[in-house]
Structure formats: structure tokens, C-alpha cells
């Protein structure tokens, strides 16, 4: 008969940060008995996004689609990145653009010139 491995116990953590650092460097396999795990169901979980309707000029939408195609991402996702970047700059007073918005393989100066 196979002997069961002894399970380690989860240590007490002083803070959420300490716990996060612990789990970044430790494997749960020696602590958690996955054979007794059950699937969790969250029936009242709400989506964290909200659907909106937004009217854009046709030319602006076309330009957005071209930029998104260059980055191989959906234009809606690129629009969200642009909006998030601008909101962050406006609320935090930052001026650095998000590097994810730059075309691959081109410098920012060249990208600005087109």
C-alpha cells in the first residue's frame, strides 16, 4: 500500500503582501490536497464590464481599425487601451504614453510622423 505524503501547513501571514510573496515562490502541490477539491460555483457573480453605445465618426473608426490591425488586436481592445491610457494621464498628471500603444519595431518619433 502506498504511503501518503505528509502535507505541509499554510503559514500565518502578517499581510496580504506577505502572502502574495509566499505564493510567488512556493508551490501549492505540497500543501493542498487536490484530491478533495471541489469546483466552486458563483451564481451571483456580476460582470466587471458594462456595455455602452458610442457613436464615432466613420473616419475615426476606420483609422482606429487600421491601427488595431497593425498591432493584430481587435479595435475595441485598442480603444480601451487608448482610453485607459488617457484617463490615467489625466487623473495622475502623467505625460508618458503607454508603450503598448507604440507600433512594433518603430521608434516613437518615427511613429508620430507616420
Q: Alpha helices of the chain — where are they, by DSSP H?
A: 16-25, 58-71, 75-92, 108-113
Residues 56 and 79 sit within 8 Å (Cβ to Cβ): no
Domain that residue 74 falls in: 58-113
79 falls within a domain? yes
Say whether pLDDT at 93 is over 90: no
pLDDT in tens, 28-86: 887 888 888 889 888 888 878 888 999 999 999 999 999 999 999 999 999 999 999 99
Higher pLDDT, 75 or 7: 75
Of the candidates 2, 8, 114, the one whose C-alpha atom is nearest the C-alpha of residue 66 is 114
pLDDT of residue 57: 97
29 falls within a domain? no
25 falls within a domain? no
Q: What distance in Å separates the CA atoms of residue 107 and residue 111, rounded to the nearest whole number?
A: 6
Higher pLDDT, 64 or 109: 64
8 falls within a domain? no
pLDDT of residue 109: 47
100 falls within a domain? yes
44 falls within a domain? no
63 falls within a domain? yes
Q: Alpha-carbon dihedral of residues 64, 54, 56, 109, nearest 10 degrees?
A: -40
95 falls within a domain? yes
Cα separation of the two ends of the chain:
71
For residue 76, give Cα distances in angstroms to 11, 16, 20, 68, 100.
Answer: 43, 34, 32, 9, 15
Task: Provide the number of structural domains found in the chain.
Answer: 1
Least confident span in 48-52, 85-89, 98-102 = 98-102
Amino acid at each position: 500500500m502506498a504511503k501518503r505524503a505528509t502535507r505541509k501547513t499554510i503559514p500565518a501571514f502578517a499581510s496580504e503582501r506577505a502572502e502574495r510573496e509566499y505564493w510567488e515562490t512556493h508551490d501549492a502541490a505540497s500543501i493542498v490536497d487536490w484530491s478533495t477539491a471541489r469546483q466552486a460555483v458563483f451564481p451571483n457573480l456580476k460582470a466587471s464590464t458594462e456595455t455602452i453605445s458610442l457613436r464615432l465618426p466613420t473616419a475615426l473608426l476606420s483609422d482606429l481599425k487600421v491601427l488595431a490591425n497593425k498591432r493584430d488586436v481587435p479595435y475595441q481592445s485598442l480603444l480601451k487601451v487608448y482610453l485607459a491610457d488617457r484617463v490615467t494621464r489625466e487623473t495622475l498628471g502623467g505625460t508618458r504614453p503607454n508603450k503598448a500603444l507604440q507600433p512594433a519595431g518603430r521608434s516613437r518619433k518615427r511613429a508620430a510622423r507616420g
